[in-house]
């Protein structure tokens, strides 16, 4: 008899589990607390799909090559459905910096570096419709999971036998999956049952603010600046996210320590004013070219968190697998959460196929997730820490970086960044790491990379002038004065808060 799989949650991770496991013939049921999407297509979902369970549904999302390639290789019909619904694939060539655009020659492998651009509501809607068409997948909306069915596991740990549903008898299953997202209640239920899952957690130290827009008929996307549509001014980061059906969004990420800016940016008039001051963004939000179609959505409590289901090879639970944000959360700025979820779901499929022994399944899954994803997690966390330090120092007009930090920044700004804009081979390698097709730091530590970076740096600013970006936006003092915000900050308190 086919194994039964009960899944808590039908967000991105739950849907990825259905995608990965449906071809194995198991009987899969997803239990989702939120209602189904309203009748209609992408617009109806964007405007009316009530998703209290996913606070970030209407924030910018981009779906990196790791996820897109997985869909292309394993679920080509889904890629067709996404295209038919208006989602697009932005290619490596389209994302090239200005100086490389004219002399670009396609190479084998470039086709792997495409990202799917779409509103998250469109992406979820299409995957949902696709998995609903699989004979062995059932998606039950409006079903609140309120606990777990557990028993002591053979050889220790807690064995999970099913989900406890509000208003219905328990859903028993051989495999139970936690795809309940960042606030999944399951970890506490397990703790109550005697299984404590070790975790580490750290603030991303930023807040996210997103607004969606639609291009005016015939206006289309404005020409891209020479160095793209993203930027980092220290006191804020920004990016344009092209999406489906003539829509796009803009996200402004504000460091936690920028308290006055955080409070102000959620006001639409302030958000628009900021966008108008950012050269890469201003043509996008020009009222002659685009109109807002949402309010400014804010999102805080952004954390990196890693949970270990089989610490040192000893499973804490049996028949129970966490996938998606309930297993590992990362800073949304890197756009990797959905790729993590998809990679985990497919690693789980492989572990389940390899053995029927519950403890071995748990060990295999945990070990493979750690091997495949932990290097990205560590790399992102290191970058978050560095960005948080930079934001804090930016509040202190008297701060002077130590020489080592100054040297590192010069290497980054005058060496690595400029080399990436000059050299397509280097850019390809960096993009493969960014898209999670290669380990995050491998390209950077290759001797050839170091040689290119040092050679670029040695040419000096004058020779490299064509590769420097035009100013990507006003400095903090200028922007704050323009917005009428106080530039001062209670540094002692912020430092004490860490
Ligand atoms: C602001 C923001 C921007 C992001 N941008 C990107 C991006 O550009 N690219 C990217 O790849 N990732 C991005 N991410 C990360 C990505 O959105 C998450 O990694 C992804 O949503 C994780 O999917 P999930 O299914 O684990 O959780 P969710 O998508 O949150 O889904 C969890 C589901 O479980 C349901 N649920 C919870 N509890 C219960 C219960 N008791 N009973 C029944 N159902 C329940 C919820 O209703 C929900 O549907 C972003 C995240 C944030 C916060």
Quick check: CB of 53 below 6 Å from ligand 1? yes
Question: Best substitution site from 90, 181, 376 to test ligand 1's pocket, by max atoms within 8 Å of Cβ?
Answer: 181
Q: How far apart are CA 60 and CA 68, in angstroms?
A: 17
Run of H or E including 489:
none
Residue of the CA atom closest to atom 53 of ligand 1: 56
Q: What is the pLDDT of residues 374-384, one digit of tens each?
A: 999 999 999 99
Strand, coil or helix: 6:
strand
Evaluate if pTM is beyond 0.85. Answer: yes
| 3-state secondary structure (DSSP) of residue 27 | strand
Q: How far is the CA of 57 from the centre of ligand 1 (A)?
A: 8
Q: Mutation test of ligand 1: which of 325, 329, 345 has the most ligand atoms closer than 8 Å to its C-beta?
A: 325
Which amino acid residue places its CA nearest to atom 12 of ligand 1? 337
Residues in the chain predicted with pLDDT less than 70, given as ranges, are 227, 489-492, 494-496, 498
Ligand 1 and 54: CB distance under 6 A: yes
Token readout for 419 is 């080399």
Domains of the chain with bracketed CATH: 4-61+118-201+304-379 (3.50.50.60), 205-299 (3.30.70), 403-483 (no CATH)
Which DSSP category does 216 fall into? P
The phi, psi pair for 270, rounded to 5°, reads -75, -45
- Nearest protein CA to atom 29 of ligand 1, as residue: 11
Contact 380 CB / ligand 1 (< 6 Å)? no
Instruction: Say what the pLDDT of residue 498 is.
Output: 64
**pLDDT value of position 489:** 67
Give me 248's structure tokens: 């796009």
- Return all residues near 151 (Cβ < 8 A) that are at least 6 apart: 158, 159, 161
Query: Which of 34, 49, 53 for mutating ligand 1's site (highest number of atoms within 8 Å of CB)?
Result: 53
* 298 touches ligand 1 (CB under 6 Å): no
Closest-lying ligand 1 atom to the alpha carbon of residue 144:
42
CA distances from 143 to 7, 124, 169, 414 (A): 11, 18, 12, 54
Tell me the two tokens of residue 83: 């295209």
Q: Is the CB of residue 332 below 6 angstroms from any atom belonging to ligand 1?
A: yes
Question: Are 19 and 80 spatial neighbours (Cβ–Cβ below 8 Å)?
Answer: no
pLDDT, residue 471, reads 74
Q: How many CB atoms lie within 10 A of CB 288?
A: 8
């Amino acid at each position: 008899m086919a194994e039964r799989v009960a899944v808590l949650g039908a967000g991105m991770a739950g849907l990825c589990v259905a995608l990965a496991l449906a071809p194995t013939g198991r009987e899969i049921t997803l239990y989702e607390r939120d209602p189904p999407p309203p009748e209609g297509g992408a617009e109806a979902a964007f405007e009316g799909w009530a998703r209290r369970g996913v606070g970030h549904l209407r924030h910018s999302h981009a779906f990196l090559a790791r996820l897109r390639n997985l869909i292309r290789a394993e679920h080509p019909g889904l890629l067709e459905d996404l295209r038919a619904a208006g989602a697009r694939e932005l290619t490596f060539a389209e994302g090239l910096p200005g100086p490389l655009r004219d002399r670009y020659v396609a190479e084998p492998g470039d086709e792997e570096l495409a990202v799917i651009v779409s509103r998250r509501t469109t992406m979820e809607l299409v995957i949902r419709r696709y998995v609903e068409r699989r004979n062995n997948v059932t998606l039950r909306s409006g079903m609140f999971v309120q606990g777990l069915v557990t028993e002591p596991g053979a050889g220790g740990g807690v064995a999970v036998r099913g989900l406890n549903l509000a208003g219905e008898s328990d859903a028993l299953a051989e495999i139970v999956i936690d795809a309940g997202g960042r606030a999944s209640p399951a970890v506490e239920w397990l703790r109550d049952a005697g299984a404590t899952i070790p975790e580490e957690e750290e603030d991303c130290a930023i807040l996210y603010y997103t607004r969606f827009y639609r291009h005016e008929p015939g206006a289309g996307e404005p020409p891209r600046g020479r160095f793209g549509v993203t930027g980092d001014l220290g006191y804020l980061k920004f990016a344009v996210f092209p999406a489906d059906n003539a829509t796009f969004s803009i996200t402004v990420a504000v460091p936690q320590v920028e308290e006055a800016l955080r409070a102000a940016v959620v006001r639409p008039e302030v958000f628009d004013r900021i966008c108008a001051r950012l050269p890469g963004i201003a043509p996008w939000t020009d009222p002659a070219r685009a109109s807002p179609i949402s309010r400014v959505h804010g999102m805080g409590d952004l954390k990196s968190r890693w949970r270990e289901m089989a610490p040192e090879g000893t499973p804490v639970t049996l028949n129970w697998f966490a996938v998606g944000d309930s297993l590992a959360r990362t800073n949304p700025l890197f756009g990797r959460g959905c790729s993590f979820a998809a990679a985990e779901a497919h690693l789980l499929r492989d572990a389940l196929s390899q053995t029927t022994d519950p403890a071995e399944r748990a060990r295999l899954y945990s070990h493979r997730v750690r091997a495949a994803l932990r290097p990205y997690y560590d790399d992102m966390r290191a970058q978050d820490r560095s960005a948080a330090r930079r934001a804090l120092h930016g509040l202190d007009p008297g701060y002077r970086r130590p020489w080592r930090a100054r040297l590192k920044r010069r290497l980054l700004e005058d060496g690595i960044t400029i080399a990436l804009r000059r050299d397509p081979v280097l850019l390809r390698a960096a993009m493969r790491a960014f898209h999670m097709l290669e380990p995050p730091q491998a390209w950077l530590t290759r001797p050839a990379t170091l040689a290119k970076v040092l050679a670029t740096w040695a040419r000096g600013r004058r020779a490299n002038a064509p590769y420097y970006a035009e100013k990507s936006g006003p400095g903090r003092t200028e922007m704050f004065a323009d917005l009428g915000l106080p530039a001062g900050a209670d540094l002692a308190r912020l430092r004490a808060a860490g």
